[in-house]
Amino acid sequence: MKKKITLKHIAKELDVSISTVSKALKNSEEIGRDTKEKIQAIAKLYNYRPNNIAISLKNKRTKNIGVIIPDIVHHFFTTVFRGIEKYANEKGYNVIVCVSDESFDKEVINMEMLANGSIDGFIMALSAETQMKNDFNHLKEVTEQGIPLVLFDRITDDVICDKVIINDEEAAYNAVKKLIESGKKRIALFTTENYLGVSSKRADGYFRALKDHKLETDENLVLELPFQFEKEDKSEAFFERYSFDAVLCVNEIFAIRAMRTAQRMGIKIPQELAIIGFTDGILSKLSSPSLTAVAQHGNRMGEIAAQMLIEKVESDQERESFRTEIIEATIIERESTIH
């Protein structure tokens, strides 16, 4: 086993000092021509690479970014991560991922693990539990320590930092508008239990669109579904009890489940029921019929988040200015709506 070699090894081998080796490898003018060449040759021979950890300690810069997300299996978060990783890598940064699993405690633990020097900054989306508890002290502590933080998608106004979101309210509005313009009159909303910021914004857009188009809003047409997969009893009963000709779903899974339930009950899509879901993932593309979806452009979101973070990390000036970048969601029309 080849041991990892250090400046010290090279120095000893050539009987020069460590500083000379260090300078020679940086091609410093200070070092004589042939000494430099000898040192560089040996370094190459041994395939010398400086130790990242030592450099991190010296520079107080790790070139690592910490990403904390509620879930990695969800397509949206995956695409955001992809965007982050791509941009970060181009800039020479590595990405450390922690999954909070929608748990407040895990989120806190993960942040603490990383906040002690392991990373230069955080990119994160809040866990559901954190949003419920409304407790953001772990975030505040981190920002107070001067560690840059970028929140995306699941954000909060209580923490002052850079943010990236989509225009949820408007996107929902436009989706509903599109349904109305295609002739639909009774439009349902399938949403999560309401602590998630994004869901409530989407609901706002939904209601505003109905009002603007003089359609009555019926609280009965709003179905709150649990996070986890379950028997689809609840939604089946909902289909039986209420009549509606279109549905907006706050995520892809809900949309697919709505579609399956409708199909099982012999409802024709999109003629009898049009469906639009948030998140334009593989499910939407590959279901049959394929799903019209609100694309959140996770990749771009991730790239922008990474860009904002790295900008902050690399600027030594401490002017505290924060911005919120809003990404325009776009509707991808497919077979589940009439157009």
In the set 23, 138, 140, 186, which binds DNA (CB under 7 A)? 23
CB of 338 to a second copy, least distance (A): 19
Q: What is the size of the binding site for a second copy (CB under 8 A)? A: 56
Using CB under 8 A as the binding rule, whether residue 315 contacts a second copy is answered as no
Per-residue DSSP letter, 231: -
Q: Using CA of residue 54, residue 58, residue 59, residue 60, what is the dihedral sign?
A: positive
Residues from 30 through 49 that contact DNA (CB under 7 A): 30-33, 35-36, 48-49
Are 167 and 190 a contacting pair, CB within 8 Å? no
CB of 244 to a second copy, least distance (A): 20
If DSSP codes are grouped into helix, strand and coil, which group holds residue 76? helix
Report CA dihedral (4, 98, 84, 295) to the nearest 10 degrees.
150
Show the site string, 108-127: x = touches a second copy by CB under 8 A, - = not: --x-xxxxxxx---------
With b meaning 16 or more CB within 10 Å and e meaning fewer, what string describes 62-95?
A: bbbbbbbbbbeebbbbbbbbebbbebbeeeebeb
Using CB under 8 A as the binding rule, whether residue 279 contacts a second copy is answered as no
In Å, what is the CA distance from 304 to each residue of 31, 42, 183, 311?
Answer: 43, 42, 37, 10
CB of 52 to DNA, least distance (A): 8
In the set 41, 45, 57, 326, which binds DNA (CB under 7 A)? 57
In the set 20, 78, 251, 336, which binds a second copy (CB under 8 A)? 78
- Cα angle 106, 110, 115 (rounded to 5 degrees) comes to 150
Using CB under 7 A as the binding rule, whether residue 156 contacts DNA is answered as no
Using CB under 7 A as the binding rule, whether residue 2 contacts DNA is answered as no
Using CB under 7 A as the binding rule, whether residue 16 contacts DNA is answered as yes
CB nearer to DNA: pick between 4 and 339: 4
CB nearer to a second copy: pick between 27 and 286: 286
Q: Which two tokens stand for residue 44?
A: 């190459």
In Å, what is the CA distance from 338 to each residue of 1, 75, 174, 280?
Answer: 66, 25, 15, 18
Helices (H) and strands (E) in the chain, counts: 14, 12
In the set 12, 26, 49, 133, which binds a second copy (CB under 8 A)? 49
Binding site for DNA (CB under 7 A): 4, 6-8, 15-20, 22-23, 25-26, 30-33, 35-36, 48-51, 54-55, 57-58, 60
